[in-house]
Chain A
Amino acid sequence: METRLSINGDTHMLDADPRTTLLDALRNHLGLTGSKKGCDHGQCGACTVLIDGRRINSCLTLACMHDGQEITTIEGLGEPGNLSPLQAAFVRHDGYQCGYCTPGQICSATAMLKEAEQGWPSYVSDDLDGAPALDGEEISERMSGNLCRCGAYSNIVDAITQVVGERA
């Protein structure tokens, strides 16, 4: 079936099996392999992309459900030579090792910063009202849907903390 996908500002006409997940559409049909398949079951977060600015596991949603929505993948956040602040901070703080979970971590963190700005509380927030301060524990909790088997978590927190500091 035909779906009109708007990805990183470009329009793609996808003609694919209706069973095609958004993740497989990106990777197998559109050549956008930055979003990773770690589990295909919404358990690891490696496939995280942004749909209309919100983070989503692209393996858990079908491509044909997103006709007309704005999709942003890791490729749309920056490129070598022109990295986003989060991408650059991940390099500086070694917020990765093998790099396979990294696009998902960065997409997730990009949306997470916006969620916090909008005052969304988390499990570890003391207060349900007001803008939560993104300290290490808040960042860790909000990033716990993105697994990293290499164990770069503390560096990931450092990278995000740097960007939070730059924005303040």
Chain B
Amino acid sequence: MTNSLTMDTPAERRRLDEMHQGLVGEPLDRPDGPLKVSGRATYAHEWNLEDTAYGVLVRATIAKGKAAIANRAEIEAMDGVLTVLTDNRFLRNPAQGTAGEAPVQSGLDVEYFGQPVALVVAETFEQARHAAQAVIFDGEAEADVPFDPEAVDPEEQEDETVDQGDLDAAMREAAHSIDAVYRTAGHAAAAMEPHCSIASWDGDELTLRGSYQMLKYNVAELADALGIDEDKVRILSPFVGGGFGSKLGISPEAVSAAIAAKALGRPVVVNMARQQVFDAILRRSETRQHVRLAADEDGRLTGIGHEALVSNAPGEEFAEPVTQSTHFLYAGESRKLGLSIARIHRTPAGSVRAPGEAVGMPVLECAMDELAEAAAIDPVELRKRNIPERHPEEDIPFSSRKYVEALDEGARRFGWDKRNRHPGGLVEGEWLIGHGMAGASRVNMLNAAEARVTLSADGHATVETDMTDIGTGTYAILSQVAGEMLGLPIDKVETKLGDSSFPKGPGSGGSWGASSSGSAVFLACEEIRKAICERLDCEESDLTLKDGTATAGNRSLPLADLLGGDDLVGEGKIEPGKTGEECAQATYGAYFCEVAVNRYTGETRVRRMTGVFGAGRILNRKTATSQCLGGITWGIGMALTEELVHDPRDGHIVNRDLAEYHVPVNLDVPQIDIVLLDERDDAASPIQAKGIGELGLCGAAGAVANAIYNATGIRVRNFPITLDKLIGELPGS
């Protein structure tokens, strides 16, 4: 039986709090840890299938036009080469997250420099790589192709537009106002494991071992791309070497591997080179953001404007939702929010960790810092004064919201009262010291999820879902939820993930994985608890499960005895419902940062950071803390170093590897103080949990930028804040 719940009413009965095993929330080690630290976890490339041939993708070196291979016969004659494939089913770019259908399939029609257009397959990797490098195209490149997002007429995204009150009037009448244009650079997800697929066919049935975040969507996308039925496709992704959005949708290597494996009648592995990942995997759009804040004498906002320009390739629906949290985070009666998209021929854009807030929140929070300065109000106090009672555009209530608590607790732990109050005024030798803060906000979403839990006759439980663990801790938290509900020690619970033949999970994305899959497991366990009650002939409210023993009234017996040789199977299914529409759900937090900026070179070092977050019930404090550490690390990268650079002549990504695209290294990141607030959000999910995988990033770069301003007195409105943007204005320069 399936226990289904549509989230139409808040889950006011907090059932997890009534349980007795004491697992949920505990900072347990990941069960998959020993496999990972000993090199025994199986990532996409690491399945040893007999007779596997190696495929290497070949990219187009024109930005738009028709590619044609000039020397096909020569390549096919090279040592070990099995085939040179071009095919109209090849993907132009990966599917967008949750698409559930094939993305644009363009074969040899090129729409950006770096698009994979051919696959060379050979007996060995060395042979395939050599042959792929020898491919010569004689394609026709079109002229007058747009590459600069600020040089074309953009399309307005009407569903993102809000025009409320009269912002122009509010700006004119404001006691304090800010009117500024910020820019953020494009970003690469740069997951450590490159995109890789091994395709193998058994008759007309395809098994794809890949590195994917959302298997239920990926099966549909792959089947659609190949023109076969979904029930002929199985995807395995038990371990994913990082995703950050880049593995949400089926990508070019999977489809080409499947086509090649079918043609050759043997397994084919296609592992994208790091440079190909930069070229052909969806990037985060660069943004231009026009922010306007109007406030009265006391810093109370009377108006907010946030209008953004982003880019994408023709035919892609995704537009970086820059203003997503601006809609509800702060009060202000007059509001003008908008999003426009420029159609250009760069690598297509898509979801990269925290799409929207990752770049929108830092800019909003920098503007708030500017306003605090203009109004001479403590930046923490300014934010607290502007927290609205109800959603300022939709006039609906908020669900649980810990923004004030995060601001206060962060300020206390960081020692905000001892901050530098004179921009450019605190000097230690050759270093200028500064302090800055920013708020964090990320919308909260629930996604349909199913899971199956089996309580075996010997008293073990097994959780099964096609959900993935991309480093997020899914293996740990689903076992913890099941162990809590069934009263089992953690070593009696096993979670199996990443196999599309299991019940369909929500996928890892949008920060919805833990709360959605956790709820499905919770519901499945409720079903098992019901069956146990029937056997004990007791009411559910009288049942206590702990340490493998069931107790009701004065009767107590081990689960193995109670089961009498039977397995109990429960299936759970959660679907989003009215609570998602009737109240505004989000996660909140605050960052506090100390930087040192070299007064001669402009080099910025982040010295310490504090992050305080409220994300509903925390399922595992260790893995949740790690998610926040990771998010803040991304924020440091966005603030200081990360920037995709495009050649203005053909749009190609110039810095297409990890030596030139600078993600933070160990020495760039200080010890970070993370606090997770105690919270239950009844409207979010039946386990009162919300998402936490992206929150750590949603504003973090703003805290760093505000600290740089505080250190130097220089307001840089163009991320990343590299040395060159500071050095000309440093004191004494």
| A→B interface (CB under 8 Å) | 16-17, 19-20, 24, 27-28, 31-41, 43-44, 46, 73-75, 77-81, 83, 87-88, 90-92, 94, 96-103, 106, 124, 136-137, 139-141, 143-157
Contacts and interface: CB of A to CB of B under 8 A. Distances in A.
B475 to A, nearest CB: 11
Contacts of A151: 629-634, 664, 669
A39 to B, nearest CB: 4
Is chain A's interface secondary structure helix, strand, loop, or mixed overall?
loop
B39 A150 contact: no
Residue in B130, B240, B242 with the greatest tally of chain A CB atoms within 10 Å: B242
A33 B634 contact: no
Contact of A98 (B29, B124, B191, B663): B191
A33 B629 CA distance: 28
A136 B672 CA distance: 12
A92 B29 contact: yes
Contacts of A83: 34, 37-38
Contacts of B669: 140, 151, 153-154
A92 B273 CA distance: 33
A153 B666 contact: yes
Contacts of A35: 39
Residue in B41, B189, B632, B667 with the greatest tally of chain A CB atoms within 10 Å: B667
Nearest to A80: B34
Interface string B655-668: 00111000111111
A144 B663 CA distance: 11
Given A24-B125, A39-B657, A154-B669, A34 B632 contact: no
Contacts of A40: 273-274
Q: Which 8 A-B pairs rank lowest in CB-CB distance, beginning with the nearest?
A: A34-B39, A151-B633, A100-B241, A97-B471, A98-B471, A99-B36, A151-B630, A74-B39
A64 B272 CA distance: 25
A79 B623 contact: no
B30 A94 contact: yes
Contacts of A33: 39, 42-43, 45-46
B27 to A, nearest CB: 8
Contacts of B30: 91, 94
A151 B471 CA distance: 11
Given A83-B37, A141-B666, A151-B633, 19 more contacts: A19-B126, A28-B124, A28-B125, A35-B39, A40-B274, A80-B40, A81-B34, A87-B34, A91-B37, A98-B243, A99-B471, A106-B37, A144-B668, A147-B665, A150-B192, A150-B471, A150-B626, A152-B630, A153-B664
A144 B667 contact: yes
A80 B671 contact: no
B33 A90 contact: yes
Contacts of B90: none
Nearest to A28: B125
B218 interface: no
B657 A103 contact: no
Given A37-B271, A151-B630, A151-B634, A79 B40 contact: yes
Interface in B39-62: 39-43, 45-46, 48
B190 interface: yes
B670 interface: yes
B38 A100 contact: no
B160 interface: no
Given A36-B192, A156-B666, A157-B666, A74 B38 contact: yes
Contacts of A90: 33, 37
Interface string B270-297: 0101100000000000000000000000
12 contacts: A19-B126, A20-B124, A38-B193, A41-B659, A74-B38, A79-B38, A80-B40, A88-B37, A98-B470, A101-B192, A140-B667, A148-B666
A43 B659 CA distance: 6
A141 B685 CA distance: 43
A146 B667 CA distance: 11
A124 B665 CA distance: 15
Residue in A24, A33, A41, A154 with the greatest tally of chain B CB atoms within 10 Å: A154
Contacts of B627: 97
A129 B130 CA distance: 47
A124 B668 CA distance: 13
B113 interface: no
A94 B29 CA distance: 7
Given A41-B657, A149-B191, A103 B629 contact: no
A94 B622 contact: yes
Contacts of B302: none
B480 interface: no
Contact of A152 (B127, B629, B657): B629
A136 B671 CA distance: 8
A100 B43 contact: yes
A155 B629 contact: yes
B626 A46 contact: no
A98 B444 CA distance: 23
Contacts of A88: 37
B522 interface: no
B328 interface: no
Contacts of B190: 149
A98 B192 CA distance: 9
Interface in B239-273: 239-244, 271, 273
A140 B666 contact: yes
Interface string B222-249: 0000000000000000011111100000
Contacts of B470: 98
Contacts of A92: 29
A148 B192 contact: yes
B498 interface: no
B625 interface: yes
